[in-house]
């Protein structure tokens, strides 16, 4: 392959919005929190070391302690360290997935820079996600078009494609179904 063809192959996806968006430095105010009002566990997230190789973090605290915001900040730090390209919240029920999707809708753009004008995808993935999306569109009262909306609809069209989104919320069984060979395993 010639140098011109290789340069064109690298440039072409970026020109058409197919390259992943660049990761931004997420700040606590983007998550609705002031830096001086952080809980101890949230403050610890800013200082925890991200080691080379695989990392495992378990965030455990009382209800209302800000675990979700801490997880989002940690995910942002991991993405900046090259440990991932997005976030998927695998939740136990459709109701919790719907609620998390709403919370992510308020902050998902802050994970990525806006300089390359690529709209990050946000997807809801569970058995009744299509119904939830239709209800949300009725409530919004507007039909937002554009390439980003079309791509989000395409990604959300299938359980397996939903995991290609930059930011997502869904049920844990959708994550299992994306990698398991048989649809009706006892694991589900």
Q: List the chain domain ranges.
A: 24-84, 85-188
Reading the block at residue 20, the tokens are 């992943």
Alpha carbon of residue 55 to chain centroid: 18
64-101 pLDDT, tens digit each: 889 999 999 999 999 999 998 888 899 999 899 989 99
Gap between the Cα atoms of 55 and 78, Å rounded = 9
pLDDT of residue 172: 87
Alpha-carbon distance of 184 to 188, in angstroms, equals 7
pLDDT grade, residue 12 (50/70/90)? low
3-state secondary structure of 107: coil
More confident residue, 134 or 11: 11
- Name residue, tokens 């566990």: 41
pLDDT digits (tens, 9 = 90+) for 108-147: 888 888 776 677 888 888 776 665 554 445 444 455 555 4
Q: What is the pLDDT of residue 138?
A: 40
Percentage above 70 pLDDT, the chain:
65
Which contacts qualify for 134-137: CB closer than 8 Å, 24 or more apart? none
Token duo for residue 183? 């649809």
pLDDT, one tens digit per residue, over 22-47 is 888 888 888 888 878 899 999 999 89
107 pLDDT tier (thresholds 50, 70, 90): confident
């Amino acid at each position: 392959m010639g140098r011109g063809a290789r340069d064109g192959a690298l440039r072409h996806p970026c020109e058409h919005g197919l390259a992943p968006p660049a990761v931004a430095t997420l700040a606590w105010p983007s998550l609705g929190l002031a830096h001086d009002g952080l809980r101890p566990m949230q403050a610890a997230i800013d200082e925890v070391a991200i080691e080379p190789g695989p990392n495992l973090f378990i965030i455990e605290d009382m209800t209302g302690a800000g675990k979700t915001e801490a997880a989002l900040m940690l995910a942002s730090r991991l993405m900046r360290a090259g440990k991932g390209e997005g976030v998927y919240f695998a939740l136990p029920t459709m109701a919790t997935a719907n609620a998390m999707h709403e919370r992510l809708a308020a902050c998902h753009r802050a994970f990525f820079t806006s300089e390359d004008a690529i709209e990050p995808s946000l997807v809801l993935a569970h058995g009744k996600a299509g119904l939830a999306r239709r209800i949300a569109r009725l409530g919004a009262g507007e039909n937002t078009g554009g390439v980003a909306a079309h791509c989000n609809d395409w990604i959300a069209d299938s359980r397996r494609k939903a995991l290609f989104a930059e930011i997502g919320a869904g049920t844990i069984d959708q994550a299992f179904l994306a990698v398991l060979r048989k649809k009706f395993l006892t694991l589900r």
